[in-house]
Amino acid sequence: MIVAARPDANTHTAPVPRDRPRRLRRSEAIRRLVRETRLDPEMFVAPIFVRPGTGVRDPIASLPGHDRVSADEAVRDAERLAELGVGGVILFGLPASKDEEGSGAWIAEGIVQQALRRLRDRDLPLALIADTCLCEYTSHGHCGPLTGDGRVANDAALELLARTAVAQAAAGADVVAPSAMMDGQVAAIRDGLDQAGFTETAIMAYAAKAASAFYGPFREAADSTPAFGDRRGYQMDPANGRESRREVALDVAEGADIILIKPAMPQLDLVAAARERYDLPIAAYQVSGEFAMLVAAAERGWLDGRRAMLESVTGIVRAGAGIVITYAAADLASWLRDEAR
């Protein structure tokens, strides 16, 4: 509100504002006191890429600071994340061999299952989440077995995804995270888990996973680039918000315990819409391309990397996410700890 100054024949006085929001911005102490959105390391989930071997650290060129690691090294990384107060890890597997069905995803000695058992034995204060998909394990790189004309066979994939989820739960996963975007995958996995006696294993559904240009570094990290075609036949068209909201509603109806939106930055409207409509926990994935572009710009001196990363994740949380999967989890937790001192 603006209050007009008393007129004076000899002077001209500018209007004086009655409302002064800047009062609450004038010092760092006041800004901290009135801050609406607060980050906590416990809301972060760190991706870990697990490969066969022992003592293996294979740097990922497009994800600076990240490696493909053997199961023993994954435990080392998880211990550091736990010490920083990070809330959880999500495991992606790079199998020793691949086949048309992706059987490495559900075998008892699958690479993610090996890592889960090691992590469970350590009893770390971390939520153990397993990515439940087949694309890293199939020889063709798609998220399910193929029909004769090269399309993904949706219903055949459901049985294999459920089998994978059961194997991951048996190995110690607290949460399975189906990311294949197959119709009916949450219901099939819930039924499979319950029949196998894993009624307490939660499902974090990749409910609105777009066919995004921001996945490039991940595909290098997970060796999951399709051998032909792309995934636009089953992942979401980034232009379709209403259809994405329908996908979320279907996963909620099928029994999802947590809803995940991916990628986060281009779909903050979907994060906000899910938060407004549902009482379930809402997660968002700051994907590899989002992370990598900020790191690359910081390396070139084009922006302050620390401030930009914190601002980006704050925006995701402000939109409504209570869980953020991010490659910056360790850095963010360290920065927040520094600020709290």
List the catalytic residues.
Answer: 209, 262
Sign of CA dihedral 181, 184, 186, 188: negative
Unique residue bearing structure tokens 């906000």: 272
The DSSP secondary structure of 98-127, one letter per residue, reads -BSS-GGGTSTT-HHHHHHHHHHHHT-SSE
- Secondary structure (3-state) at 334: helix
- Which residue, chain included where needed, has tokens 């809330």? 87
Task: Let me know the angle formed at the C-alpha of 102 by 97 and 105, rounded to the nearest 5 degrees.
Answer: 85
Alpha helix ranges (H) inside the chain: 28-34, 71-84, 111-122, 154-171, 185-195, 216-222, 241-254, 268-277, 288-299, 305-319, 329-340
Its sign, for the CA torsion 237, 206, 306, 72, is: negative
Closest CA to 88 of 173, 169, 207: 173
Q: Return the structure tokens found at 119.
A: 């992590």
What is the C-alpha radius of gyration for the chain, rounded to an integer number of angstroms? 23
Please tell me the total number of residues recorded for the chain in this structure.
Answer: 341
Phi, psi angle pair for 213, to nearest 5°:
-80, -5
